[in-house]
Amino acid sequence: MSDAPRPAKDAQSPFSGEPDPQETYPASDLILRSCDGVDFHVHKQILAFVSVFFSNMFAFPSGSAPPTELQRDGKSILLLPETEDILYRVLILAYPARSRKLYSLSAADLDSACLVHEAAQKYQFTYAQNLVVEMLMEDTLVDAHPHRLFAIATLRDLPSLGQKAALSTLKLPICPPNLTFPEMRLMRAESLQKLYDFHRLCSKNASDIVEEAGGPLEEKDLGAEGSLTLDADQSLCAWWMQNAHVDGCGAALDFGMVIPAPWFPKLIQNAIPKVPCMPTGATVASEILAAKTAVWHLRSDCDLCCDEGETDLESFARRISRVIDEKNATSAREPGILGF
Protein backbone atom coordinates (compact mmCIF):
# COMPACT_ATOMS: atom_id res chain seq x y z
CA MET A 1 0.00 0.00 0.00
CA SER A 2 1.34 3.46 -0.83
CA ASP A 3 0.51 6.83 0.58
CA ALA A 4 -0.39 9.30 -2.16
CA PRO A 5 1.46 12.62 -2.15
CA ARG A 6 -0.77 15.24 -0.62
CA PRO A 7 -2.46 17.10 -3.47
CA ALA A 8 -2.21 20.82 -3.99
CA LYS A 9 -5.62 21.28 -2.41
CA ASP A 10 -8.76 19.61 -1.16
CA ALA A 11 -12.10 20.37 -2.71
CA GLN A 12 -14.19 23.14 -1.28
CA SER A 13 -16.84 22.44 1.33
CA PRO A 14 -18.72 20.16 1.71
CA PHE A 15 -16.11 17.85 0.17
CA SER A 16 -13.02 19.24 1.92
CA GLY A 17 -12.83 16.46 4.50
CA GLU A 18 -13.08 18.98 7.32
CA PRO A 19 -15.85 18.36 9.89
CA ASP A 20 -18.89 20.58 9.45
CA PRO A 21 -20.73 21.22 12.74
CA GLN A 22 -23.94 21.93 10.81
CA GLU A 23 -23.95 18.50 9.16
CA THR A 24 -24.88 15.11 10.61
CA TYR A 25 -22.97 13.10 8.02
CA PRO A 26 -20.43 10.58 9.36
CA ALA A 27 -16.77 11.01 8.47
CA SER A 28 -15.97 10.56 4.79
CA ASP A 29 -14.52 7.19 3.79
CA LEU A 30 -13.55 7.64 0.13
CA ILE A 31 -11.67 10.19 -1.95
CA LEU A 32 -12.56 11.00 -5.54
CA ARG A 33 -9.59 12.72 -7.18
CA SER A 34 -10.22 14.97 -10.18
CA CYS A 35 -7.94 14.92 -13.19
CA ASP A 36 -6.41 18.22 -12.06
CA GLY A 37 -5.42 16.81 -8.67
CA VAL A 38 -8.18 17.96 -6.33
CA ASP A 39 -9.46 15.56 -3.68
CA PHE A 40 -13.17 15.23 -2.92
CA HIS A 41 -13.88 13.54 0.41
CA VAL A 42 -17.12 11.63 0.00
CA HIS A 43 -19.23 8.93 1.63
CA LYS A 44 -19.61 5.50 0.07
CA GLN A 45 -23.02 5.00 1.62
CA ILE A 46 -24.37 8.21 0.10
CA LEU A 47 -22.84 7.51 -3.31
CA ALA A 48 -24.32 4.01 -3.28
CA PHE A 49 -27.72 5.47 -2.42
CA VAL A 50 -27.80 8.08 -5.20
CA SER A 51 -25.90 6.22 -7.93
CA VAL A 52 -26.42 2.75 -9.42
CA PHE A 53 -22.87 3.00 -10.77
CA PHE A 54 -21.30 3.37 -7.32
CA SER A 55 -23.78 0.99 -5.73
CA ASN A 56 -22.62 -1.76 -8.08
CA MET A 57 -18.99 -0.82 -7.56
CA PHE A 58 -19.21 -1.06 -3.79
CA ALA A 59 -21.23 -4.29 -3.95
CA PHE A 60 -18.14 -6.30 -4.89
CA PRO A 61 -16.11 -7.66 -1.96
CA SER A 62 -13.14 -5.39 -1.44
CA GLY A 63 -10.76 -8.07 -0.15
CA SER A 64 -7.22 -6.95 0.44
CA ALA A 65 -6.22 -3.69 -1.14
CA PRO A 66 -3.73 -4.21 -3.97
CA PRO A 67 -0.23 -2.87 -3.37
CA THR A 68 -0.64 -0.20 -6.04
CA GLU A 69 -3.91 1.22 -4.69
CA LEU A 70 -3.64 4.88 -3.79
CA GLN A 71 -4.70 5.84 -0.31
CA ARG A 72 -4.67 8.94 1.82
CA ASP A 73 -5.52 9.24 5.49
CA GLY A 74 -6.75 5.66 5.42
CA LYS A 75 -9.17 6.34 2.54
CA SER A 76 -8.98 4.77 -0.88
CA ILE A 77 -8.53 7.20 -3.76
CA LEU A 78 -10.51 6.77 -6.97
CA LEU A 79 -9.03 8.67 -9.91
CA LEU A 80 -11.62 10.25 -12.19
CA PRO A 81 -11.19 11.97 -15.57
CA GLU A 82 -13.40 14.97 -14.70
CA THR A 83 -11.97 18.34 -13.69
CA GLU A 84 -12.47 19.86 -10.24
CA ASP A 85 -15.18 22.19 -11.56
CA ILE A 86 -17.23 19.44 -13.23
CA LEU A 87 -16.84 16.99 -10.37
CA TYR A 88 -17.91 19.57 -7.81
CA ARG A 89 -21.02 20.48 -9.78
CA VAL A 90 -22.03 16.84 -10.24
CA LEU A 91 -21.49 15.92 -6.59
CA ILE A 92 -23.24 18.99 -5.21
CA LEU A 93 -26.26 18.08 -7.33
CA ALA A 94 -26.10 14.43 -6.31
CA TYR A 95 -25.75 14.85 -2.56
CA PRO A 96 -29.18 14.90 -0.84
CA ALA A 97 -30.64 18.20 0.37
CA ARG A 98 -27.78 20.25 -1.05
CA SER A 99 -28.20 20.69 -4.77
CA ARG A 100 -30.53 23.67 -5.16
CA LYS A 101 -29.22 25.39 -2.02
CA LEU A 102 -25.57 25.50 -3.06
CA TYR A 103 -25.71 25.41 -6.83
CA SER A 104 -27.99 27.05 -9.34
CA LEU A 105 -27.37 27.34 -13.05
CA SER A 106 -26.65 30.71 -14.65
CA ALA A 107 -25.62 31.81 -18.12
CA ALA A 108 -21.98 31.67 -17.01
CA ASP A 109 -22.39 27.96 -16.21
CA LEU A 110 -23.56 26.98 -19.69
CA ASP A 111 -19.96 26.35 -20.76
CA SER A 112 -19.90 23.30 -18.48
CA ALA A 113 -23.55 22.23 -18.71
CA CYS A 114 -22.95 19.47 -21.27
CA LEU A 115 -20.02 18.06 -19.30
CA VAL A 116 -21.95 18.15 -16.01
CA HIS A 117 -24.89 16.32 -17.56
CA GLU A 118 -22.55 13.85 -19.27
CA ALA A 119 -20.77 13.07 -15.98
CA ALA A 120 -24.07 12.69 -14.12
CA GLN A 121 -25.23 10.26 -16.78
CA LYS A 122 -21.95 8.31 -16.79
CA TYR A 123 -21.98 7.79 -13.02
CA GLN A 124 -25.75 7.22 -13.06
CA PHE A 125 -26.62 10.10 -10.75
CA THR A 126 -30.19 10.07 -12.02
CA TYR A 127 -31.43 12.79 -9.69
CA ALA A 128 -28.50 15.03 -10.63
CA GLN A 129 -29.25 14.47 -14.32
CA ASN A 130 -32.84 15.52 -13.81
CA LEU A 131 -31.80 18.59 -11.84
CA VAL A 132 -29.45 19.74 -14.59
CA VAL A 133 -32.28 19.49 -17.11
CA GLU A 134 -34.70 21.21 -14.73
CA MET A 135 -32.33 24.15 -14.30
CA LEU A 136 -31.64 24.36 -18.04
CA MET A 137 -35.42 24.50 -18.61
CA GLU A 138 -35.87 27.67 -16.53
CA ASP A 139 -37.70 30.31 -18.57
CA THR A 140 -35.22 33.13 -18.00
CA LEU A 141 -32.29 31.00 -19.18
CA VAL A 142 -34.09 29.59 -22.23
CA ASP A 143 -35.42 32.98 -23.32
CA ALA A 144 -31.96 34.57 -22.97
CA HIS A 145 -30.08 31.81 -24.84
CA PRO A 146 -32.59 29.79 -26.90
CA HIS A 147 -30.24 28.75 -29.70
CA ARG A 148 -27.54 27.66 -27.28
CA LEU A 149 -30.01 25.69 -25.17
CA PHE A 150 -31.26 24.00 -28.34
CA ALA A 151 -27.67 23.04 -29.17
CA ILE A 152 -27.15 21.59 -25.69
CA ALA A 153 -30.41 19.67 -26.03
CA THR A 154 -29.33 18.10 -29.32
CA LEU A 155 -25.88 17.19 -27.98
CA ARG A 156 -27.32 15.59 -24.84
CA ASP A 157 -30.51 14.22 -26.45
CA LEU A 158 -32.93 16.18 -24.27
CA PRO A 159 -36.21 16.44 -26.25
CA SER A 160 -38.18 18.52 -23.73
CA LEU A 161 -35.41 21.11 -23.50
CA GLY A 162 -34.97 21.09 -27.27
CA GLN A 163 -38.66 21.71 -27.90
CA LYS A 164 -38.83 24.54 -25.37
CA ALA A 165 -35.68 26.17 -26.73
CA ALA A 166 -36.89 25.84 -30.33
CA LEU A 167 -40.16 27.57 -29.43
CA SER A 168 -38.18 30.36 -27.78
CA THR A 169 -36.09 30.88 -30.93
CA LEU A 170 -39.31 31.95 -32.67
CA LYS A 171 -39.13 35.18 -30.67
CA LEU A 172 -36.01 36.09 -32.66
CA PRO A 173 -35.36 36.51 -36.40
CA ILE A 174 -34.77 33.27 -38.26
CA CYS A 175 -31.06 34.08 -38.67
CA PRO A 176 -30.05 36.22 -35.67
CA PRO A 177 -26.66 37.96 -35.82
CA ASN A 178 -23.67 36.97 -33.66
CA LEU A 179 -24.87 33.42 -33.16
CA THR A 180 -21.65 32.00 -31.68
CA PHE A 181 -21.20 29.73 -28.68
CA PRO A 182 -19.00 26.70 -27.87
CA GLU A 183 -21.64 24.07 -28.65
CA MET A 184 -22.15 25.49 -32.15
CA ARG A 185 -19.03 23.76 -33.49
CA LEU A 186 -20.18 20.43 -32.03
CA MET A 187 -23.66 20.52 -33.54
CA ARG A 188 -24.44 18.62 -36.69
CA ALA A 189 -25.48 20.71 -39.67
CA GLU A 190 -28.65 18.61 -39.82
CA SER A 191 -29.72 19.89 -36.38
CA LEU A 192 -29.29 23.51 -37.42
CA GLN A 193 -31.23 22.84 -40.62
CA LYS A 194 -34.10 21.31 -38.65
CA LEU A 195 -34.26 24.38 -36.41
CA TYR A 196 -34.31 26.61 -39.50
CA ASP A 197 -37.04 24.47 -41.10
CA PHE A 198 -39.04 24.57 -37.86
CA HIS A 199 -38.99 28.37 -37.92
CA ARG A 200 -40.20 28.37 -41.51
CA LEU A 201 -42.96 25.87 -40.69
CA CYS A 202 -44.19 27.99 -37.78
CA SER A 203 -44.00 31.11 -39.94
CA LYS A 204 -46.24 29.51 -42.55
CA ASN A 205 -48.66 28.18 -39.94
CA ALA A 206 -48.97 31.54 -38.18
CA SER A 207 -49.43 33.43 -41.46
CA ASP A 208 -52.09 30.95 -42.60
CA ILE A 209 -53.98 31.23 -39.30
CA VAL A 210 -53.95 35.03 -39.40
CA GLU A 211 -54.94 35.21 -43.06
CA GLU A 212 -57.76 32.70 -42.62
CA ALA A 213 -59.06 34.66 -39.63
CA GLY A 214 -59.57 37.62 -41.95
CA GLY A 215 -62.25 35.71 -43.84
CA PRO A 216 -64.39 35.12 -45.73
CA LEU A 217 -65.93 32.17 -43.91
CA GLU A 218 -68.68 29.73 -44.70
CA GLU A 219 -71.89 30.77 -43.00
CA LYS A 220 -72.08 27.44 -41.14
CA ASP A 221 -68.72 28.13 -39.46
CA LEU A 222 -69.72 31.54 -38.18
CA GLY A 223 -70.03 31.51 -34.41
CA ALA A 224 -68.90 27.89 -34.02
CA GLU A 225 -67.66 26.95 -30.56
CA GLY A 226 -64.02 27.95 -30.13
CA SER A 227 -64.15 30.01 -33.30
CA LEU A 228 -62.06 33.16 -33.69
CA THR A 229 -65.28 34.87 -34.79
CA LEU A 230 -66.42 35.02 -31.16
CA ASP A 231 -65.50 37.59 -28.55
CA ALA A 232 -64.78 37.04 -24.85
CA ASP A 233 -68.53 36.82 -24.14
CA GLN A 234 -69.01 34.19 -26.86
CA SER A 235 -70.90 36.69 -29.00
CA LEU A 236 -69.99 37.47 -32.60
CA CYS A 237 -67.19 39.99 -32.94
CA ALA A 238 -68.42 43.31 -34.29
CA TRP A 239 -66.89 42.83 -37.75
CA TRP A 240 -68.76 39.54 -38.29
CA MET A 241 -72.19 40.99 -37.43
CA GLN A 242 -74.45 41.82 -40.37
CA ASN A 243 -76.88 44.10 -38.54
CA ALA A 244 -76.62 47.33 -36.50
CA HIS A 245 -73.85 48.75 -38.69
CA VAL A 246 -74.02 51.84 -40.88
CA ASP A 247 -74.44 51.15 -44.57
CA GLY A 248 -71.36 49.56 -46.11
CA CYS A 249 -69.69 48.69 -42.80
CA GLY A 250 -71.11 45.40 -41.55
CA ALA A 251 -70.48 41.83 -42.60
CA ALA A 252 -72.04 40.72 -45.88
CA LEU A 253 -73.46 37.39 -47.02
CA ASP A 254 -72.40 36.26 -50.50
CA PHE A 255 -73.50 32.83 -51.81
CA GLY A 256 -73.14 31.13 -48.43
CA MET A 257 -69.92 32.93 -47.55
CA VAL A 258 -69.74 35.64 -44.89
CA ILE A 259 -67.43 38.56 -45.63
CA PRO A 260 -66.43 40.61 -42.55
CA ALA A 261 -66.70 44.38 -42.24
CA PRO A 262 -64.35 45.96 -44.86
CA TRP A 263 -61.91 47.42 -42.34
CA PHE A 264 -61.11 44.05 -40.74
CA PRO A 265 -59.50 42.27 -43.75
CA LYS A 266 -57.43 45.42 -44.34
CA LEU A 267 -56.26 45.30 -40.72
CA ILE A 268 -55.29 41.64 -41.12
CA GLN A 269 -53.35 42.37 -44.31
CA ASN A 270 -51.45 45.12 -42.51
CA ALA A 271 -50.55 42.71 -39.68
CA ILE A 272 -49.40 39.76 -41.80
CA PRO A 273 -46.03 41.04 -43.20
CA LYS A 274 -44.19 40.93 -39.86
CA VAL A 275 -45.61 37.60 -38.72
CA PRO A 276 -43.16 35.27 -40.57
CA CYS A 277 -40.12 36.92 -39.00
CA MET A 278 -41.09 36.08 -35.41
CA PRO A 279 -44.14 33.78 -35.59
CA THR A 280 -45.18 33.69 -31.94
CA GLY A 281 -48.58 34.39 -30.46
CA ALA A 282 -47.24 37.50 -28.75
CA THR A 283 -45.87 38.88 -32.03
CA VAL A 284 -49.14 38.26 -33.85
CA ALA A 285 -51.22 39.87 -31.09
CA SER A 286 -48.93 42.90 -31.04
CA GLU A 287 -49.03 43.31 -34.83
CA ILE A 288 -52.82 43.02 -34.95
CA LEU A 289 -53.29 45.71 -32.33
CA ALA A 290 -50.65 47.91 -33.95
CA ALA A 291 -52.28 47.58 -37.39
CA LYS A 292 -55.57 49.08 -36.24
CA THR A 293 -54.22 52.64 -36.49
CA ALA A 294 -54.01 52.30 -40.27
CA VAL A 295 -57.65 51.23 -40.69
CA TRP A 296 -59.50 52.70 -37.72
CA HIS A 297 -60.72 55.65 -39.77
CA LEU A 298 -62.69 53.23 -41.97
CA ARG A 299 -65.14 52.49 -39.15
CA SER A 300 -65.34 56.00 -37.71
CA ASP A 301 -69.01 56.47 -38.71
CA CYS A 302 -70.18 53.11 -37.38
CA ASP A 303 -71.37 53.24 -33.78
CA LEU A 304 -71.22 49.46 -33.38
CA CYS A 305 -67.61 49.21 -34.56
CA CYS A 306 -66.62 52.25 -32.51
CA ASP A 307 -68.32 50.97 -29.36
CA GLU A 308 -67.37 47.29 -29.55
CA GLY A 309 -64.66 47.04 -32.18
CA GLU A 310 -61.66 47.80 -29.97
CA THR A 311 -62.71 45.51 -27.12
CA ASP A 312 -63.50 42.72 -29.57
CA LEU A 313 -60.16 43.25 -31.30
CA GLU A 314 -58.25 42.89 -28.04
CA SER A 315 -60.15 39.67 -27.31
CA PHE A 316 -59.45 38.43 -30.84
CA ALA A 317 -55.72 39.18 -30.46
CA ARG A 318 -55.55 37.14 -27.26
CA ARG A 319 -57.45 34.23 -28.77
CA ILE A 320 -55.44 34.05 -31.97
CA SER A 321 -52.25 34.34 -29.91
CA ARG A 322 -53.21 31.19 -28.01
CA VAL A 323 -54.13 29.35 -31.21
CA ILE A 324 -50.74 30.12 -32.77
CA ASP A 325 -48.75 29.19 -29.67
CA GLU A 326 -50.65 25.90 -29.39
CA LYS A 327 -50.00 25.16 -33.06
CA ASN A 328 -46.28 25.89 -32.64
CA ALA A 329 -46.08 23.66 -29.56
CA THR A 330 -47.82 20.83 -31.42
CA SER A 331 -45.39 21.17 -34.31
CA ALA A 332 -42.41 21.08 -31.92
CA ARG A 333 -43.63 17.79 -30.45
CA GLU A 334 -44.09 16.05 -33.79
CA PRO A 335 -41.55 13.21 -34.16
CA GLY A 336 -38.65 14.12 -36.40
CA ILE A 337 -39.47 17.81 -36.75
CA LEU A 338 -36.62 18.87 -34.45
CA GLY A 339 -34.61 15.66 -34.68
CA PHE A 340 -35.54 14.15 -31.33
Rounded to two decimals, the pTM is 0.85
CATH match of 2-136 with 3.55.50.30: no
Specify which residues 118 forms β-bridges with. Answer: none
What would the pLDDT profile of 308-317 be if each residue is shown by its tens digit?
A: 888 899 999 9
Rounded Cα distance between 106 and 136, Å, is: 9
Domain boundaries, the chain: 2-136, 209-332
Looking at per-residue confidence, does 13 or 32 come out higher? 32
The pLDDT of residue 15 is above 80: yes
Q: What is the DSSP string of 52-63?
A: HHHHHHHHS---
CA distance 93 to 330: 32
pLDDT of 1 higher than 90: no
Confidence of residue 319 (pLDDT cuts 50, 70, 90): very high
Rounded Cα distance, 152 and 110, in Å? 9
Q: In which order are the strands placed within the sheet that holds 38-42?
A: 2-3, 70-72, 75-79, 30-33, 38-42, 9-10
Which range, 7-21, 90-104, 118-132, 221-235, is most confident?
118-132
pLDDT digits (tens, 9 = 90+) for 183-234: 888 889 999 999 999 999 999 999 999 999 988 988 888 877 778 888 777 8
